[in-house]
Structures are given as C-alpha cells and as structure tokens.
Amino acid sequence: MNPNTVTTPDNPIPDTRVEPGTAGRGAAIAYWWDRVGIFAVLLLLIALMAVLAPNFLSVDNAINVARSVSINAILAAGLTVVILTAGIDLSVGSILAVAGVGSVLLAVDGVPTPLALLGGILIGALCGALNGVFVAWLALPAFIVTLGSMTYLRGLAYSLLDGQPLVASDLGFRGIGNGSVAGIPQPVVVMIVVYAIFWFLLERTRFGRHVYAVGGNMEAARLAGINVKRVLLYTYMLAGAAAGVAGLIFSARVLSAQPTAGEGYELDAIAAVVLGGTSLAGGRGRIFGTLVGAVIIGVLSNGLILLDVPFFYQLVIKGVVIIIAIALDSLKRFSRASG
C-alpha cells in the first residue's frame, strides 16, 4: 500500500493526497510546487511575452487567448479525471471530432438546437464509455485501447462526412463558439461551468474520493469496498463528455463539421494536466491546477504567434514543453519517495 495511504474503520477509503507537514522535505517541496510554482511559471511567462510582444497585453489579445484556451482546457478537465486514476486517454481529440460532426449533422437535419447540443455531448460520453468498458471490464491497457479509439474514431469522423467538411453557416448553436455574455466569450463561460462541475465532483463527492483512491492504490481501493470498474467507467465517460463539449465549441467556432478537428489536441491536453500538477502515476492532482496548465499552453502558443515564430518551430517548442512537464512529474514523484 502507498505509504501515504490512510484508512480507518470509519473511513475505509484510502486518502492519497499529501498535506504539508505529513511527509518529508521532498514531498513538501512537491506539494508547494503544485500549488505555487505553477502560478509563478504562468506569471513569468506572461511577463516575458509582454516584454517580447508589446501587443500581448491588449484587451483584444487577452480575449483571443481566453477563447483559444477554452477548448484545450475543457479537454484537459476530462483527462484530469482519467489521469488521476493512473489512466490515459489518447482519443479525446478524435472524440471531439466525432461529437462535433454528429452535432452539426443533427442541426443540419433540423433537430432542435438543445437536442443537437445534447446529442454531441452524449456521443462523446458514449465513446468514452466504450473506452471505459475495455479498460475496466476487459482489463486492457488504457494506452492501447485509447490509441485504437483515436484511430477508428478519426476514421468514423471522415466516413460520416465522406472525407469533406460540412459547412453550416446558419448553425443554431454558433453562439457558444463566437458569442459572448457580458463581454466574456461564451466558450470561456462554458469552460468555467465545466471546471465548476469537475471541481464539485472531485472535491465534494464520494465519487471524487474514489477517483483519488483508485489512482493512489487500486488494490487497496478494491479491498476498501470501492467498485473500481464502475469508477473507471465513469471517468472515461466524463472525459468523453468533456471532449463532446469541446467538439461543440469547435464546430460552432468554425461553423462547420470538420473531420480533421482535434488532431493533436490530446497532446496539448495531457501537457496541461501534467503541468498543472496531476501525476501520471495517479492519485495526486487538482482540477484548477489543470486550468492553469492549459492557460500556460495557451499563452505560450499565442506568444509564439505574435512573435512570428514559424509553425514548425512552434511544434518543436511545444514538444519540449511536454517533455519538461513529464520530467517534472517524474522529479516530483522521486522527491516524494525520497522525502
């Protein structure tokens, strides 16, 4: 059992979240890095971009950054729940595409806008549930399952559109991609709602405690009476539903169904989760840390564009950031173990 796992007769659910003062120096450093260090990195990055690109701090650019961050942040929120269980989901980008295509097809066929929106979310949840069944009940490696899902779902998105985009300039739900509420872009409003829901699920419900317990020590969680298979199923469903919401926003922004939507988005989402302090080993992390990680990715991307950095160099820099994020995660785990 994880040395930080605590169980009592009154609370048999393992608690893998380490508080300062309950572990050694290494664990304390890792704890405060997750809560303070990531904000310091964001502030330093903003300051750097403000110096290098004078237009970076303009109101219009800030709105653009917020709008662009929303999709990746929503994807990352769903991935956070999966990664907290020591899982992974490489298919969220493809789920985004299928959900977006499905919702646009429903809208074009005359389905009322609320039902088209609900349909996109349900398509995403169904795709996630299928991943969960393979991972939880068939005990297949999540990496392999979601890698396969990433491929066949992408093929499904292409087949539904015969390989061609479907333009829908009068899309009924275009407002969630391009509209605003009291000057705040609607995608940002949706993102805030999504994070509020995920925060509540993880921090204020039994399901959230079960997620941390399964990620901290799956066998201990099972012995404590937690239905591990059901928890895993629900986490992948949530990741799929979040990808469905992201797909709705993407389609609304471009006013079309795009079979190529979301390609490569899973990497940015994983980077945001890990940068935000969630451990790839599971059991540790906070949903709002993921939001900060997504903002870091968004600020970096926007700054590179303002600096006219060629696209291929942007890919190189993002790849380095992902490697650094994973290296930091490994370093934090080593600090906890040695602390």
The string of pLDDT tens digits covering residues 98-154 is: 999 999 999 999 999 999 999 999 999 999 999 999 999 999 999 999 999 999 999
Res 138: pLDDT:
94
Res 338: pLDDT:
61
Res 9: pLDDT:
38
Asked whether residue 178 carries a pLDDT value surpassing 70, the answer given is yes
> Domain range spanning residue 244?
38-46+56-332
Taking Cα atoms as reference points, which of 265, 266, 293 lies closest to residue 278? 293
- pLDDT band at residue 54 under the 50/70/90 scheme: confident
User: Which residues touch 133 (CB under 8 Å, ≥6 apart)?
Assistant: 233
Structural domains in the chain (count): 1
Res 265: pLDDT:
94
132 located within any domain: yes
User: Which residues touch 125 (CB under 8 Å, ≥6 apart)?
Assistant: 237, 238, 240, 241, 244
Res 36: pLDDT:
73
Average pLDDT over residues 34-39: 74
Give 5 or 235, the one with higher predicted confidence. Answer: 235
Q: CB of 92 within 8 A of CB of 262? A: yes
Average pLDDT over residues 35-64: 87
216 located within any domain: yes
Asked whether residue 10 carries a pLDDT value surpassing 90, the answer given is no
Q: Which tokens in the block code for residue 274?
A: 């890990």
Q: Which pLDDT tens digit goes with each residue over 274-330?
A: 888 898 889 989 999 999 999 999 999 999 999 999 989 988 988 888 788 777 767
142 located within any domain: yes
Res 333: pLDDT:
64
Distance CA 56, CA 66 (A): 12
338 located within any domain: no
How do 256-257 and 184-185 pair as beta strands? unpaired
217 located within any domain: yes
C-alpha angle 168-64-38 in degrees, rounded to nearest 5: 125
Asked whether residue 90 carries a pLDDT value surpassing 90, the answer given is yes
Res 47: pLDDT:
93
Q: Which tokens in the block code for residue 22?
A: 């309950």
**pTM, entire model:** 0.89
User: Which residues touch 124 (CB under 8 Å, ≥6 apart)?
Assistant: 95, 96, 98, 99, 240, 241, 242, 243, 244, 245, 247
Res 154: pLDDT:
97
> Using CB atoms within 10 A of its CB, is residue 338 exposed (0-12), middle (13-18) or buried (19+)?
exposed
Q: CB of 296 within 8 A of CB of 73? A: no
Amino acid at position 289, single letter: G
98 located within any domain: yes
Give 32 or 225, the one with higher predicted confidence. Answer: 225
Q: Which pLDDT tens digit goes with each residue over 227-273?
A: 999 999 999 999 999 999 999 999 999 999 999 999 999 999 998 99
Q: Which pLDDT tens digit goes with each residue over 194-236?
A: 999 999 999 999 999 999 999 999 999 999 999 999 999 999 9
If you count them, how many residues does the chain have? Answer: 339
20 located within any domain: no
Res 2: pLDDT:
43
197 located within any domain: yes
Res 318: pLDDT:
83
Res 35: pLDDT:
66
Average pLDDT over residues 71-90: 97
Residue tagged 């303002």 (tokens): 306
- pLDDT band at residue 339 under the 50/70/90 scheme: low
Backbone φ and ψ for 284, nearest 5 degrees, come out as -140, 135
CA dihedral 26, 30, 31, 34 (to 10 degrees): 170
Res 6: pLDDT:
41
Say which CATH number the domain at 184 has: 1.10.3470
